[in-house]
Structure 1
Amino acid sequence: MFVAVNLLISLLRKRRRQGACAALALLCTAQLAAGASAAELTVLVGDELSAHAEFVQHLRASQEPGSRFELVRLSAGGAEAAQPVETASSEPERSANAGVRTRSLRTAPANAALTLAVGAPAARAALERPGQQPLVLAMLSRLDYESLRASSPALKRGDRRVGVLLRDPAMADQLALIGAVLPQKQRIGVVATLESEPLVRELQRAAQNGNPPWDIQVEYAPDARSLAGALRSVVPRSDALLVLPDLIGDSQAATLSVLHAGAGAGLPVFGASEGLVRSGGLAAAVSTPAQLAQQARLLGQKLASGAGSNGNPLVESAAPATVRVNVTVARGLGLRLPEERELTERLTVTR
């Protein structure tokens, strides 16, 4: 009896050891597989804009467990200083104790999965950097991209896959928002600068695809002193005003001039920034840094799967757009608008 019991105990111990070894082998295999497939993201930042900092924060927070995240900050003179590499982990204590290393921006490891540049200064530095890994240029305005395309030979080389994520929604989305808010109006007034021509062309193409087509009234203001005259000309011919994301839209003083002109004529003003809505615009189709960070990752995945291999950058406008509405302005104009969420859903459907 005792012999039988001893044999049974020995057998159970042997099976436990075999099970433990098998579990250890599976764990090692999983760790090796994770290490082999772990993605590496190198992020270049060349400024201190709050929107860019929030964008990077969302990128870091969305890293997959076991992946690597390296933040490289550029000095004002364009010099590179690599920050500690972070290894994303599902266990906070392991992430906090992750290995730290630094490396020069000028050399890229062979296993780097993606380089992502945030903003125009970082985009210029990234394009000058040698390497074959896919590159995403994010948080650029349309005019930033046009300037890079005209001045950077690296963008035209075609020896690497490049994606460009614009920070603003497409003009078609802006017109879709105006149509949802003012369904019976077709005349859209715009004051633009000479540098805004790419935006104007995009707006006019989107207007021609409208059903019915939109009537775009454009006046150009060569400088700030000409803005008042351009507004006096375009306001009487418009049902609403649209502020482009250009030198006028980026200038608080110029934007306020457009808002004052619209208020004086009883015209709603639309745009592409939450700041415009807070300052007296009726509504805007915008994209948050969190949405842009998610879209940047998806764009990087497209590049990794072979998109953009024809030598031309893969350019995307910001999507999805989120609608912001100034309820006080709507009430003053006698408009009853749908909720922001409903307007956002309409834009998603039309896209």
Structure 2
Amino acid sequence: MISVLPPSSRRLWRAARSALVAALAWAAAGGSVAAASLTVLMGDDMAASSEFVQQLRADQEPGGRFELVRVSPGAAQPEAAAAPDTERAANAGVRTRGLRPSAADTPLTMAVGPAAARAAVERPGQEPLVLAMLSRLEYETLKASSPALRRGDRRVGVLLRDPAMADQLALVNAVLPQKHRVGVVATPESEPLVRELQRAAQGANPAWDLRVEYAPDARSIASALRQVVPQSDALMVLPDLIGDNQAATLSVLRAAATAGLPVFGASEGLVRSGGLAAAVSTPSQLAQQARQLGQKVASAGTGSGNSNNAPLVEAATPATVRVNATVARGLGLRLPEERELTDRLAAPR
């Protein structure tokens, strides 16, 4: 016997089915709103920035609009210009054209690097904006010098390229579980990083014994190290003027090697140069995280007129741990495999 639903019941069934289909589509999309239109501002040709943009392009949804706009050095506003033939070949499928999206698009702008970030925040408009591939200090400088970043009528996300200090301390703990004295030589400009590190150290269980000495110039590093090294079980190199300077980083590594101390940081370059371990994220991994942050920003409520609509700032998720096995042997340490250390950092704490 075939039962025929009355018209009112059929309408209810169709409505329920439509709701179910929509819910499944929402879940498949990760429960977020993906921007159909992505404009990427690129302010440099560094390999890391190029890898970041290539991953963004590879992950673009079918049918979505992807625009690559190059920011001229020193330009107050981004300028879209026709790409040369070599760039067209490298960026197949990307149209470099005007910045104004069509009304049918759901636009999102993503700025890659500090130059592009500055151009993006100064550009008028209210479309959601993600600033990526910035160090903490570059972001703090931008925030202090660009009132437009605090105007409140645009939803802004910021993805820092380095892991949070809490994650870096978690790596030290995973490698040296019985040690809790960490020494740092910092510059006066590093104060935002030092404050974050101090909060992470105090919030850990047990708390870290953190010793920080400041080196106002390159000649002061040796003196600061003489104060820090005897009171430390490990040294940490911050992503600041010391961590970004090869000669300064080598000074820290040499002092640590002489004292038999391991050095931790947030770059593969540090590990290759003689550091023990680092928690890092590759540009491709950062691009994937930036897309997720963009979805959060795009799906958030509008912040028009809300002066408290502060940027949503995320540190890089440490996707990989790198270890210098030669340094570990020299220090007499038997460390877990890199994959195991990576899993430990990813575990909830």
Q: TM-score, normalised by structure 2?
A: 0.83
Question: By how many angstroms is 1:77 displaced?
Answer: 2.6
1:186, distance to aligned residue in structure 2 (A): 0.5
Give the aligned residue type for 1:279: S
Cα 1:308–1:260 change in 2 (3 A) is farther
In structure 2, the residue matched to 1:65 is 62
Deviation at 1:109, TM superposition (A): 4.3
Q: Does 1:318 align with 2:312?
A: no
Structure 2 residue ranges without an equivalent (≥5): 1-33, 84-90
1:320 shift after superposition: 3.7
Percentage identity across paired residues of the two chains = 75
What is the identity, as a one-letter code, of the residue corresponding to 1:304? Answer: A
What residue in structure 1 maps to residue 326 of structure 2?
328
**Larger RCO, structure (CA 8 Å, separation 6 or more):** 2
Distance of aligned partners of 1:292 and 1:243 in 2 relative to their CA distance in 1, 3 Å threshold? same
Shift of 1:321: 3.1
Matches within 5 A, 1:227-242: 227-242=221-236
What is the aligned counterpart of 2:157 among 160, 163, 167?
Answer: 163
Asked if the contact 1:169–1:286 (Cα under 8 Å) also holds between the matched residues in 2, the reply is yes
* Alignment RMSD (CA, Å): 1.9
Q: Hey, what's the Cα distance between the residues in 1 that align with 2:74 and 2:209? A: 45
Unaligned runs of 5+ in 1: 1-36, 86-94
One-letter identity of the residue aligned with 1:294: Q
Q: Deviations over 1:15-64 (max 9, x none)?
A: xxxxxxxxxxxxxxxxxxxxxx9711100011122111110111011111
Structure 1 stretches (4+) deviating beyond 6 angstroms? none
Query: Could you say if the C-alpha distance between residues 320 and 83 of structure 1 is closer, same or farther in structure 2, counting changes exceeding 3 Å?
Result: farther
| 1:10 aligned residue | none
- Which residue of the partner structure matches residue 54 of structure 1? 51
Judged with a 3 Å threshold, the aligned counterparts in structure 2 of structure 1 residues 307 and 180 are, in CA distance, closer, same or farther, namely farther
The match for 2:74 is 77
Shift of the alpha carbon at 1:150? 0.7
Alpha-carbon distance in 1 for matches of 2:318, 2:46: 22
Counterpart CA distance in 1 for 2:95 and 2:284 is: 27
What residue number does 1:306 align with?
A: 300
Give the count of matched residue pairs: 303
Tell me what 2:30 maps to. Answer: none
| Alignment match, 2:28 | none
* Aligned CA distance change for structure 1 residues 207 and 281 (closer, same or farther; 3 Å): same
Tell me if structure 2 keeps the 8 A contact 1:307–1:314.
no
Letter in 1 for 2:176: L
Between structure 1 and structure 2, the one with the greater Rg is 1
SS at the partner of 1:66?
coil
- Out of 183, 186, 202, the residue aligned to residue 180 of structure 2 is 186
The residue type equivalent to 1:199 in the other structure is L
> In the alignment, which residue of structure 2 is the partner of 1:216?
210
Q: What secondary structure is seen at the aligned counterpart in 1 of 2:39? A: strand
Matches within 5 A, 1:277-288: 277-288=271-282
TM-score, normalisation: structure 1: 0.83
* 1:45–1:38 CA distance, 2 compared to 1 (3 A): closer
